[in-house]
């Protein structure tokens, strides 16, 4: 009876934990006609909803920063910025012109180009990564990069005509070669070259935080930094804990050019571009929580495993448990097929520059991964798994939306097994109809030694490719090794492990 009650309690706790939603980077954004979330991301809050705009066109709407619906919006420029001012919504970006609408979803009317009365030497050489910020007193400001090493500029805008500069532009800061992370190159090896871009401004406790990006979106060293000031136009001070975002290894790399918004939980959340390695350099979207210390310094930890969603209660941490387990030492891991040069091991190598490509005549490509250590002398490690991420290949570096072609709809299922023979379906997406190329799915925790992914349908216009297949979970007990060793004899048997957990 006691054992049954404990088992029932464990099941109830697992169900309660599963009810707390999580997110995982890269974010699984839907794709629509004329819209693909491919970087340079702006997120704003309006009327209890969140609106996202990206290079790639279109817009996405959410109530919780977790579930997003695609909306077709015409005329969204590269690196879009949108802001609400005096009851209307103003859209700009890598475009000389400013656009206005009564709705964040358009349609937008062209107001013509920004008007600078001074020479190019003042810092304005056309619209590029423009950002309009409206201060607490209603005064609008325009921020933009001068391109290359020039840095960031700002100016007051005419409240009666947001295309008109009220003053001569102010140069806020430029490239500093002493900030090694700002330099060009995968090793930041170009001391005199950089590309400063992507300004975004927030105000908190009387402090203006101006974030910016360097070294360039072609590098995995693409990163985000910030300056602070007590005035919108400075002077600005370089933050002591820069860079704010930087990650160069793993699946999530090149983290920069984004925006900050307050979530439904009242916390601040950073959205950012992810630069993949997969040629010619695909891009995705990520988000993570922003923290402030007692001195007002801002920090963000870039993540690539499941995280607590805004407003949700924390769950036990899950980590990747499939990385590099398609090798000669994991003899029970296998694929249904693979094209030469695109081995199945590339799907689990935690690197976005490679992909697994099954044979063109494989009707239901399948990938089986044994989670346990592989030799006869190792204990058989069991895991409790509760999440899965899949990135499908295809698309260009910037992915400027989808026009008249077929949208990418992928269908799949995940099964688990303890013996490699008898499998149970834990995730069934064979009825999926939402176009996207990135997926993350939570499911109730289940114990497993093997996991098996089967792709049942995909766009047939191009070969199927899987950049990443990751299952997440945590260690959950042992079974004996095939050959007992003194090392193994020091480890608890599975029954002892389970009793310890209870």
> Is 276 in the same domain as 326?
no
**pLDDT for 499:** 53
**pLDDT for 119:** 73
Residue among 181, 124, 190 nearest 157 (CA): 124
DSSP letter for 436, please.
-
Query: Which residues neighbour 157 within 8 Å (Cβ) at sequence distance 6 or greater?
Result: 132, 140, 141, 142, 163, 164, 165, 166
Instruction: For residues 275 and 175, give the distance between their C-alpha atoms in angstroms, rounded to a whole number.
Output: 21
The answer to whether 13 and 315 have CB atoms below 8 angstroms apart is no
Residue among 11, 125, 108 nearest 53 (CA): 108
> Is 245 in the same domain as 353?
no
For residue 116, give the CATH number of its domain: 2.115.10.20
9: in domain: no
Instruction: For residues 8 and 222, give the distance between their C-alpha atoms in angstroms, rounded to a whole number.
Output: 49
> Is 301 in the same domain as 235?
yes
The answer to whether 356 and 368 have CB atoms below 8 angstroms apart is no
**pLDDT for 18:** 64
Tokens of 26: 């890269």
> Is 198 in the same domain as 154?
yes
Radius of gyration of the chain measured on its C-alpha atoms = 25
121: in domain: yes
| Structural domains counted in the chain | 2
DSSP letter for 245, please.
B
- Of 308, 337, 367, the last residue of a domain is 308
> Is 175 in the same domain as 46?
yes
**How crowded is residue 345: how many other Cβ atoms within 10 Å of its Cβ?**
18
DSSP letter for 27, please.
P
Residue 342 C-beta-side C-alpha neighbours within 13 Å: 18
Residue among 333, 455, 479 nearest 388 (CA): 455
Helices (H), 327-473: none
Instruction: For residues 439 and 460, give the distance between their C-alpha atoms in angstroms, rounded to a whole number.
Output: 19
Tell me the three state secondary structure of residue 344: helix
Tell me whether strands 298-300 and 49-53 are parallel, antiparallel or unpaired.
unpaired
**pLDDT for 342:** 95
Residue 13: which H helix or E strand, with range?
helix 2-18
167: in domain: yes
> Is 160 in the same domain as 124?
yes
Reduced 3-state DSSP string for 327-340: CCCCCCCEECCCCC
**pLDDT for 152:** 97
**How crowded is residue 482: how many other Cβ atoms within 10 Å of its Cβ?**
11
Reduced 3-state DSSP string for 191-234: CCCCCCEEEEEEEECCEEEEEEEECCCCCCCCEEEEEEECCCCC
As a dihedral over the C-alpha atoms of residue 327, residue 328, residue 334, residue 338, rounded to 10 degrees, the angle is 70
Query: Which residues neighbour 4 within 8 Å (Cβ) at sequence distance 6 or greater?
Result: none
**pLDDT for 487:** 53
**pLDDT for 6:** 44
Q: What is the DSSP string of 60-114?
A: EEESSSSS-EEE--TTPPSS-EEEEETTEEEEEESEEEEEEESSTT---EEEEE-
Q: What b-and-e string marks burial along 21-55, b requiring 16 or more CB atoms within 10 Å of the CB?
A: bbbbbbbbbbbbebbbbbbbbbbbeeeeebbbbbb
For residue 469, give the CATH number of its domain: 2.60.120.260
15: in domain: no
> Is 392 in the same domain as 286?
no
> Is 300 in the same domain as 323?
no
6: in domain: no
> Is 340 in the same domain as 204?
no
**pLDDT for 486:** 60
- Of 255, 282, 308, the last residue of a domain is 308
314: in domain: no
267: in domain: yes
Tell me the three state secondary structure of residue 251: coil
> Is 269 in the same domain as 356?
no
Q: Is 0.75 surpassed by the pTM of this model?
A: yes
In a structure prediction context, what are the per-residue pLDDT tens digits for the chain, which is 502 residues long?
444 444 444 444 445 566 799 999 999 999 998 888 889 999 999 999 999 999 988 999 999 999 999 999 999 999 999 999 999 999 999 989 999 999 999 999 999 999 987 777 778 988 999 999 999 999 999 999 999 999 999 999 999 999 999 999 999 999 999 999 999 999 999 999 999 999 999 999 999 999 999 999 989 999 999 999 999 999 999 999 999 999 999 999 999 999 999 999 999 999 999 998 865 557 899 999 999 999 999 999 999 999 999 999 999 999 999 999 998 777 889 999 999 999 999 999 999 999 999 999 999 999 999 998 767 778 889 999 999 999 998 544 444 444 446 789 999 999 999 999 999 999 999 999 999 999 999 999 999 999 999 999 999 888 999 999 999 999 999 888 766 666 544 555 555 555 555 5
12: in domain: no
The answer to whether 417 and 423 have CB atoms below 8 angstroms apart is yes
DSSP letter for 398, please.
S
- Of 281, 308, 335, the last residue of a domain is 308
Query: Which residues neighbour 94 within 8 Å (Cβ) at sequence distance 6 or greater?
Result: 77, 78, 79, 127, 128, 129, 130
3-state helix, strand, coil in the chain (%, to 5): 10, 40, 50
Domain that holds residue 465: 319-501
> Is 300 in the same domain as 326?
no
> Is 341 in the same domain as 245?
no
């Amino acid at each position: 009876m006691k054992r049954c009650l404990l088992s029932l309690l464990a099941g109830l706790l697992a169900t309660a934990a599963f009810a707390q939603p999580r997110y995982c980077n890269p974010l699984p954004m839907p794709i629509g006609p004329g819209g693909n979330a491919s970087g340079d991301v702006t997120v704003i809050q309006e009327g209890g909803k969140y609106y996202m705009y990206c290079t790639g066109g279109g817009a996405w709407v959410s109530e919780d920063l977790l579930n997003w619906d695609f909306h077709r919006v015409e005329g969204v420029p590269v690196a879009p910025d949108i802001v609400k001012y005096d009851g209307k919504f103003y859209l700009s970006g890598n475009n000389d012109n400013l656009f206005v609408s009564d709705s964040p979803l358009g349609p937008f009317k062209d107001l013509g180009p920004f008007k600078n009365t001074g020479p190019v030497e003042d810092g304005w050489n056309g619209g590029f990564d423009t950002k309009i910020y409206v201060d607490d007193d209603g005064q609008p400001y325009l921020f933009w990069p001068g391109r290359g090493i020039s840095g960031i500029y700002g100016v007051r805008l005419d409240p009666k005509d947001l295309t008109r500069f009220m003053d001569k532009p102010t140069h806020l800061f430029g490239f500093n070669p002493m900030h090694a992370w700002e330099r060009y190159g995968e090793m930041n090896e170009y001391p005199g070259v950089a590309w400063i871009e992507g300004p975004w401004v927030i105000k908190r406790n009387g402090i203006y935080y101006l974030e910016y990006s360097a070294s360039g979106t072609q590098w995995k060293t693409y990163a985000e930094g910030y300056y602070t000031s007590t005035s919108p136009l400075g002077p600005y001070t370089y933050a002591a804990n820069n860079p704010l975002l930087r990650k160069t290894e793993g699946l999530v790399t090149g983290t920069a050019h984004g925006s900050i918004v307050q979530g439904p939980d009242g916390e601040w959340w950073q959205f950012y571009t992810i630069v993949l390695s997969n040629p010619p350099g695909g891009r995705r979207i990520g988000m993570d929580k922003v923290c402030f210390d007692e001195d007002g310094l801002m920090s963000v930890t870039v993540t690539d495993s499941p995280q607590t969603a805004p407003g949700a209660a924390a769950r036990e941490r899950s980590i990747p448990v499939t990385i590099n387990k398609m090798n000669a030492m994991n003899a029970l891991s296998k694929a249904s097929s693979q094209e030469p040069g695109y081995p199945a091991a590339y799907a689990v190598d935690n690197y976005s520059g490679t992909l697994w490509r099954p044979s063109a005549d494989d009707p239901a490509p399948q990938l089986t991964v044994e989670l346990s250590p592989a030799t006869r002398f190792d204990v058989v490690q069991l895991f409790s798994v509760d999440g899965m991420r899949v990135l499908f290949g295809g698309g260009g570096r910037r992915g400027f939306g989808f026009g008249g072609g077929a949208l990418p709809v992928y269908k799949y299922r995940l099964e688990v097994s303890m013996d490699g023979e008898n499998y149970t379906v834990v995730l069934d997406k064979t009825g999926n109809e939402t176009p996207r190329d990135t997926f993350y799915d939570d499911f109730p925790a289940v114990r497993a030694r093997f996991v098996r992914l089967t792709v049942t349908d995909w766009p047939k216009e191009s070969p199927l490719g899987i950049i990443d297949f990751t299952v997440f979970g945590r260690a959950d007990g042992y079974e004996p090794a095939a050959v007992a060793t003194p090392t193994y004899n020091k480890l608890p048997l599975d029954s002892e492990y389970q009793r310890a957990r209870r």
